[in-house]
């Protein structure tokens, strides 16, 4: 199988059920980060393409898509999920070559995308309003309705999963979507549109406009015809998105990454914890919003955890995505420079590298590779322990007792996910309550992806919840009807 079959019009937009070139004909070059070579061109959509996409979405709401019952939508969304499963190899290869994700991880993302569609497809006709007891002579009830046109700005780190959790939920509630994938990674967004189209999604219900953030992205977030915006990306861009949306008084869901801790107490089951501690830092080469980039370890087991994590790090291999190593390259040379900047701050800041992984022998020279790096004895106040690195770098920080663990855990601007490792039931509950974070995992981390589990941030990690039924509430609005019948 080749990465590009001729059926995927990679340099087109998908608008109103048609594959169309961008209005001004411009293109963006897409690179394979495993080799640093050009992969293909994608469309450089602009505000004109966004206008067309928003019009098409509005027409879909006024047309066939808006007329479908919840059960019909659910059946269609489930069908798209089934078709994704049928084309898993194709999707996985597209993602691996586009963003450098090791093939097995890319495959898991395709499975997660299918799982979102399966979950949401099944939920479509199970979301409903309520009746409210009120004054004599009234029937009062609520209706759950779509926002209308929803805008989806998706980053490059988990395109398929993020499309699943946001576009999947928005379609389920009957919204019509305009999706702007990241300029570094948009092939699986186009492939998703192709699959949805072939499954019979009415035209205009999903539109995809690739392009730069400051052009197509900004045009989408400030568009007066958009009724809800879902954004996943950096804090700096999240601020711009929220400002743009506020001009039109449009609700926004922001997922802006984090500096998530896993906290290991002296009584933890370290055999069980170890793979979670390491994988949650190096999965997708650390380019994960919920990466456990801080490992807090109680003094009594500190040396043991450092030694065992170091041993695991030394076994990690880094190579081309299609070779399916522990880690692939980072998404781009730009991201590699960002991560190397942090690593040189470690060198000059006198921080000890406890262990690193290794490159494969035949590493392509121009790939965006960095070694997974474990840093120990890092002060909780150091930028390496506070800032999101978005690369395969974990810091280990010692602590003494619950109080200090909580203070360090809550000591960054972020609060997306936290893990707690302890056998003490009372402490599990105290920690779950005290940590400021959208998700807390006790004696596990990530819960296998958790399509069903509401997910979102605290502080600068953002606001609003995606995944699970919560996302369906977020992608809908509530209307109250008070009907006086005398």
Binding site for ligand TXE (CB under 6 A): 153-155, 157, 180, 182-183, 212-214, 217-218, 221, 232-234, 237, 240-241, 255-257, 289, 338, 388, 390
Least Å distance, CB 364 to ligand TXE, is 22
Which residue of the chain is nearest ligand TXE when measured via CB?
213
58 versus 284: smaller Cβ distance to ligand TXE: 284
Least Å distance, CB 8 to ligand TXE, is 19
**Is the CB of residue 368 less than 8 Å from the CB of residue 331?**
yes
Question: How far apart, in whole angstroms, are the C-alpha atoms of residue 235 and residue 121?
Answer: 31
Residue tagged 């007891």 (tokens): 133
Question: How far apart, in whole angstroms, are the C-alpha atoms of residue 427 and residue 433?
Answer: 10
Active site residue 289: yes
154 versus 173: smaller Cβ distance to ligand TXE: 154
**CA triple 299-303-309, angle to 5 deg:** 120
Q: How many CB atoms lie within 10 A of CB 414?
A: 28
Residue 167 tokens, joined: 């576009």
121 versus 329: smaller Cβ distance to ligand TXE: 329
**Is the CB of residue 176 less than 8 Å from the CB of residue 226?**
no
Question: How far apart, in whole angstroms, are the C-alpha atoms of residue 408 and residue 263?
Answer: 10
Using the Cα atoms of residue 209, residue 213, residue 216 and residue 220 in order, give the sign of their dihedral.
positive
Helix (H) or strand (E) holding 404: helix 401-409
Least Å distance, CB 251 to ligand TXE, is 16
Active site residue 13: no
- Half-sphere CA count of 452, side-chain side, radius 13 A: 6
166 versus 476: smaller Cβ distance to ligand TXE: 166
84 versus 154: smaller Cβ distance to ligand TXE: 154
241 versus 285: smaller Cβ distance to ligand TXE: 241
Question: Which residues make Cβ contacts (< 8 Å) with residue 25, sequence separation at least 6?
Answer: none
220 versus 295: smaller Cβ distance to ligand TXE: 220
Least Å distance, CB 263 to ligand TXE, is 22
Question: How far apart, in whole angstroms, are the C-alpha atoms of residue 205 and residue 178?
Answer: 8
The active-site residue out of 255, 298, 388, 466 is: 255
Least Å distance, CB 450 to ligand TXE, is 15
**Long-range contacts of residues 233-239, Cβ cutoff 8 Å, at least 24 apart:** 233/153, 233/155, 233/257, 235/460, 237/213, 238/462
Backbone angles phi, psi at 399, to 5 degrees: -145, 165
Candidates 74, 54, 51, 71; CA nearest to 62 is 54
Backbone angles phi, psi at 394, to 5 degrees: -120, 145
Least Å distance, CB 261 to ligand TXE, is 17
Task: Report helix, strand or coil for 207.
Answer: strand
Least Å distance, CB 150 to ligand TXE, is 14
Report the C-alpha dihedral over residues 410, 345, 394, 412, rounded to 10 degrees.
Answer: 10
The active-site residue out of 40, 177, 289, 466 is: 289
**Residues involved in catalysis:** 255, 289
């Amino acid at each position: 199988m080749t990465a590009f079959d001729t059926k995927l019009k990679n340099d087109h937009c998908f608008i109103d059920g048609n594959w169309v070139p961008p209005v001004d004909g411009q293109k963006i070059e897409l690179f394979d980060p495993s080799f640093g070579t050009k992969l293909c061109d994608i469309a450089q959509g602009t505000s004109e393409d966004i206008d067309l996409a928003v019009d098409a979405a509005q027409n879909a709401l006024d047309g066939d898509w808006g007329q479908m019952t919840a059960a019909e939508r659910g059946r269609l969304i489930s069908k798209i999920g089934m078709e994704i499963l049928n084309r898993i190899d194709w999707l996985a290869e597209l993602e691996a070559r586009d963003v450098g994700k090791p093939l097995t991880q890319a495959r898991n993302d395709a499975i997660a995308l299918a799982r979102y569609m399966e979950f949401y497809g099944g939920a479509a006709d199970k979301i409903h309003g309520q009746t409210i007891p009120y004054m004599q002579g009234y029937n009062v009830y609520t209706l759950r309705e779509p926002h209308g046109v929803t805008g989806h700005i998706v980053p490059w780190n988990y395109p398929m999963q993020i499309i699943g959790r946001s576009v999947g939920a928005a379609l389920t509630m009957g919204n019509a979507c305009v999706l702007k994938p990241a300029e570094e990674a948009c092939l699986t967004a186009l492939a998703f549109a192709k699959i949805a189209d072939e499954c019979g999604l009415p035209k205009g219900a999903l539109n995809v406009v690739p392009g730069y953030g400051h052009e197509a992205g900004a045009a989408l977030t400030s568009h007066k015809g958009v009724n809800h915006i879902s954004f996943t990306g950096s804090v700096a861009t999240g601020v711009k998105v929220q400002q743009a949306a506020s001009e039109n008084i449009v609700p926004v869901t922001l997922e802006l990454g984090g500096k998530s801790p896993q906290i290991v107490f002296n009584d933890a089951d370290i055999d069980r914890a170890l793979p979670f501690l390491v994988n949650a830092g190096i999965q997708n080469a650390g380019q994960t919003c919920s990466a456990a980039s801080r490992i807090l370890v109680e003094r009594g087991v500190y040396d043991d955890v450092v030694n065992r994590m170091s041993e695991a790090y030394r076994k990690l291999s880094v190579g081309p995505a299609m070779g399916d190593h522990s880690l692939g390259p980072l998404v781009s040379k730009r991201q590699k420079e960002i991560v190397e900047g942090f690593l040189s701050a470690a060198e000059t800041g006198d921080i000890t590298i406890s262990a690193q992984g290794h490159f494969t022998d035949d590493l392509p020279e121009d790939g965006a590779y960095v070694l997974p790096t474990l840093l120990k004895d890092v002060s909780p106040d150091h930028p390496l322990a506070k800032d999101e690195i978005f690369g395969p770098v974990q810091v280990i920080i010692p602590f003494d007792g619950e109080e200090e663990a909580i203070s360090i855990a809550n000591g960054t601007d972020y609060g997306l996910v936290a893990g707690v490792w302890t056998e003490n039931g009372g402490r599990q509950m105290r920690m779950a309550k005290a940590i400021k974070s959208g998700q807390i995992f006790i004696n596990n981390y990530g819960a296998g992806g958790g399509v069903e589990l509401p997910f979102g941030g605290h502080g600068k990690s953002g606001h609003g919840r995606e995944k699970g039924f919560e996302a369906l509430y977020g992608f809908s609005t509530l209307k109250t009807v008070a009907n006086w019948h005398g």
